[in-house]
Structure 1
């Protein structure tokens, strides 16, 4: 047995001194001046009309007609808001709130099960029904207002709040199903299989798994439906007639005739009608964005 007495080969070392080795540094994000200028311009475009709306609602009639609309009122007054509140504005606000809440409830109760069935059922019939249902996105309300008017009249719902609620919910449902189906597709298939192995029924999987994990999409649908009901004008105009069933959009339209050329009073009514829905948007804007990001599914 021979022993190798040759010296071990020296280990290779880098020829670059350790102190001269460059350490990669993270790149700092470079700003986009074009995007910044564009955002600033867009902010000005949005804020100037809002400022004009608020400042003009605090002006007197002669100042609003003859003064500079961009100037701050010389003698701010709240008389215009008092005039609006004394002209039945709270009744309009109450009717609009009832329509919005009822529309949201109907859309959620009907669209959540439909989206769940469309996601969990793999048959061609279910896929065809889902695509047919989404055709409602391409149908404008103006195209079906005449048959809708006749249908509401046959049902005995003309000149009632239900005449506004039912069509508004029907036209909001296609988008609601689209958003909810995209959100429910993000739920892991393994979770459904685990609950099925535990003996859970489809209804239990819907309420205990799909609904809790789809809160973002449900919030988006609720906000979207509320906005549709709050800003709707065509259905209240065609399907209602009496003053006790008027909503805000139709009431603002009639304020133009009621106040004549009292521009500050009309603008004050617009400000009061925007505040509630704007407050809801500020509270739920994060859920709205998160839900819209999940529309496409995985």
Structure 2
């Protein structure tokens, strides 16, 4: 009897020393309920997502099926019905009318402009993020003013400068303004990303005797690769789809890019809508492929450096 009482007394003492022991059984169901509430399906959000997906897919579906219609069947069939006699004549017509030249011009303008934007923007951002000079800060603030200036408001001064420089009706007339308007957002993204690089890494590589260019090539450039990919894809989309600069700063068909070339498929009294749609589909394929390949880097780089 005494042994059992002695054995039972420690258990009573332990249980009495746990003020939450009696409440543990009542707390567990509440936690389970809270977790179950978080796992409940959101029917309202899912329904809104489905509706938005339908709204986005219907125009894309119309564009694709319209490119396979004939010019006569464009007005006969229902707009959303699949063509009764699908044809590839629209794509053949587009490819036969100097589409390769327009594609090459757009590729040259986009690649050269994006390369200049990335190189100049990276060097500017490295200088701004690594120096505390008031002059550099003022230069950075002055550069950010370019984000507040719309492109349409500067088209007349840009036109006059291009004409006086003797660059009118050339691909360089499109490249230079595109670089100027792409630098502010590029520098902003790269500066915010490069400020997150720890200063101890720069001190360590400087102790090892690395020069400024070695530091840029071996440290800043590899660590800034996500942000560089982001600005490259973002500016590539803008330059590829640019229409105002090619319209104002070029004239001849030899220097015509794809967005401007789409207007050449319009007649004086009639418009071959299926052929124009086929040209739109062909011109959007390269940039869609580029976005699919780099969409993760684009989202990662856009959100990096702004979470402080």
TM-score by length of 1: 0.92
Write out per-residue CA displacement over residues 42-66 of structure 1, whole angstroms, 9 at most, x where no aligned residue. 1111100000000011011122112
Distance 1:125 1:178 in 2: 17
Distance 1:266 1:289 in 2: 32
Q: 1:1-298, aligned counterparts within 5 Å? A: 10=10, 12-14=13-15, 23=28, 25=32, 27-28=35-36, 29-257=39-267, 260-296=270-306, 298=308
Distance 2:261 2:307 in 1: 40
The unaligned stretches of length 5 or more in structure 1 are 1-6
Residue 169 of structure 1, CA deviation: 1.0
Figure out how many residues of one structure are paired with residues of the other and give that number.
292
SS in 1 for 2:84: coil
Cα 1:297–1:134 shift into 2, 3 Å: farther
Which residue in 2 is equivalent to 1:3? Answer: none
Residue 203 of structure 1, CA deviation: 2.3
Residue 34 of structure 1, CA deviation: 2.1
Distance 1:278 1:19 in 2: 56
The unaligned stretches of length 5 or more in structure 2 are 1-5
- CA contact under 8 A between 1:186 and 1:297: conserved in structure 2? no
- CA contact under 8 A between 1:183 and 1:297: conserved in structure 2? no
SS in 2 for 1:112: helix
Cα 1:221–1:81 shift into 2, 3 Å: same
Higher mean C-alpha displacement, 49-58 vs 180-189? 180-189
Distance 2:101 2:146 in 1: 32
Write out per-residue CA displacement over residues 190-218 of structure 1, whole angstroms, 9 at most, x where no aligned residue. 11111122222232222111110011100
Distance 1:44 1:255 in 2: 30
Write out per-residue CA displacement over residues 147-202 of structure 1, whole angstroms, 9 at most, x where no aligned residue. 11111111111100000011011101100001111111111111111112222223
- CA contact under 8 A between 2:196 and 2:305: conserved in structure 1? no
Cα 1:19–1:290 shift into 2, 3 Å: closer
Write out per-residue CA displacement over residues 208-259 of structure 1, whole angstroms, 9 at most, x where no aligned residue. 1111001110001111111111000000000000000000010002222379
Higher mean C-alpha displacement, 233-242 vs 32-41? 32-41
Residue 17 of structure 1, CA deviation: 8.2
Distance 2:172 2:126 in 1: 27
Distance 2:23 2:307 in 1: 49
